[in-house]
Amino acid sequence: MADAKTPWGGRFEGSADEFAARFGASLPVDRRMWAADIRGSIAHARMLGAQGIISARDAADIERGLDEIRREIEDGLFVFDIADEDIHMAIERALTARIGEAGGRLHTARSRNDQVALDARMYAREAAVALADGATALRATLLGLAEEHLGVVMPGYTHMQKAQPVLLSHHLLAYFWMLGRDVTRLRAAFDSADVLPLGSAALAGTTFPIDRAAVAAELDFGSVSPNSMDSVSDRDFLLDLTYACSVTMVHLSRLAEELIVWSTEEFGFITLDDAWSTGSSIMPQKKNPDFAELVRGKTGRVVGDLMSLLVTLKGLPLAYNKDMQEDKEPAFDAIDTAVDCLRAADGMLSTMRVNVDAMCAGALGGFMAATDLADHLASRGVPFREAHEVVGKLVLLCERRGCSLQDLTLDDLRAASPEFGDDAMEAVDIERIVSRRVSEGGTGHDAVRIQILRAKVALAAAQEWLAARREG
């Protein structure tokens, strides 16, 4: 006989063997959606009762039973059984065991197809908020560091070669804006998930007079899905969220790489706190940036999660297919990993020590005044390409002498070009070089102060959005 535990027992004479049941089960992965499942089921039961589809007493019994199950899970007393296949059946079976026939009426006018989609969307919304919260906290830390170290000069790089001096604040704020775009993507992922699928049933809708708008309002959904087939087969919202996690991780990986490089003895720009470093089992002197390396390493894992989800969904015909059971594991892994890495990055940044002297000393090397010398000539009418060549020859001269541009005299400059003015040596002063970058978005002191004000406005807007989502 068919296993009485299966929700399709009437059609089957036999049951799956133990391995097949375990192979087909998603409970170990989707059990984390229990809160969404219970909340969605309560909203569905209330609607069924309000519409007269089930009795008011059955609706009340269902809600009471689900509240009991919620408390058991919260207290760690609920027993999950792999035979239940997924979180939806685990809760429904426990409910029926508690309240009898009324538990079986909960599934009226819905399918596991739209129930799964509902739970995933509710979970995705919460995850998007949690991720945006982590990214916003990290942005606040970056902004705080930028304000604290305003005026600290460091070398800026292109191709990992010293290029031009910049303010440390300017460098840190670059990551602030990167993470701002991540928050924008996470908000878009939230909006993508904020569509109620419940009421689509298996794929064609239902014959019962349900009130989808009422359920949407109770569950705080912004809208109701317009097409039942698309509704049960859509996982774009998980793709959007996993993509947002992937880009966030790429940004965190770039930040981690810089922390790793900056903490080396060769750079010495920062010192990571002991709480975010490890030692060596054989070399007593070592202090390794392991947590930054882990953030960098876990990026590949999250990008892999995105690829896994994309390939799983590729080529699936409408509507629901069992392949879609594989959507949650990569999405959940991407979410968990990104949340943890945001927290780790915040921990490293908020506790690191900035070695100001090393940064300032680094800004003196690498002929980083070369562009400003060329600009000096260009401002005096010399075509920039000609000015570029003149300064390039001066750099060669310095390399032969083993000195810097700041060590040259005005006579040395005029020997290369008589167009150098009396104030030419000001063009190689590092502090002046930085302060002259007055263009909007530049690294000049005044420009960075303006940027900090803009950053505060942007951060406040992100915090306001988060507060509104928490209240909802």
Distances (CA, A) of 178 to 172, 185, 249, 300: 10, 11, 11, 19
Cα radius of gyration rounded to whole Å, the chain: 30
Q: Are 270 and 260 in contact (CB under 8 A)?
A: no
Q: Report d(CA 392, CA 371) in Å as an integer.
A: 10
Q: Where are the alpha helices (DSSP H) in 263-383?
A: 290-313, 328-351, 356-362, 370-379
Partners of residue 153 on adjacent β-strands: 167
Q: Are 320 and 203 in contact (CB under 8 A)?
A: yes
Q: What single-letter DSSP state applies at residue 79?
A: P
Burial class (CB in 10 A: 0-12, 13-18, 19+), 64: middle
Two tokens, residue 248:
């966030």
Two tokens, residue 30:
């989707």
Two tokens, residue 443:
């690294």
DSSP, collapsed to helix, strand or coil, labels residue 158 as: strand
Two tokens, residue 338:
């990104």
Encode burial over 337-375: b for 16+ CB neighbours within 10 A, e otherwise: bbbebbebbbbbbbebebbeebbbebbbebbbbbbbbbb
Count how many Cα atoms sit within 13 Å of the Cα of residue 75 in the half-sphere of its side chain. Answer: 8
Query: Catalytic amino acids?
Result: 159, 280
Task: With residue 354 as reference, give the H or E element that holds it.
Answer: strand 353-354
Task: With residue 251 as reference, give the H or E element that holds it.
Answer: helix 236-262
Question: Phi, psi (5° rounding) for residue 120?
Answer: -65, -40
Q: Which residues have CB under 8 Å from 182's CB, separation 6+? A: 135, 244, 247, 248, 251
Q: DSSP per residue over 372-389, as a string?
A: HHHHHHHHTT--HHHHHH
Q: DSSP per residue over 11-39, as a string?
A: T-SS---HHHHHHH--HHHHGGGHHHHHH
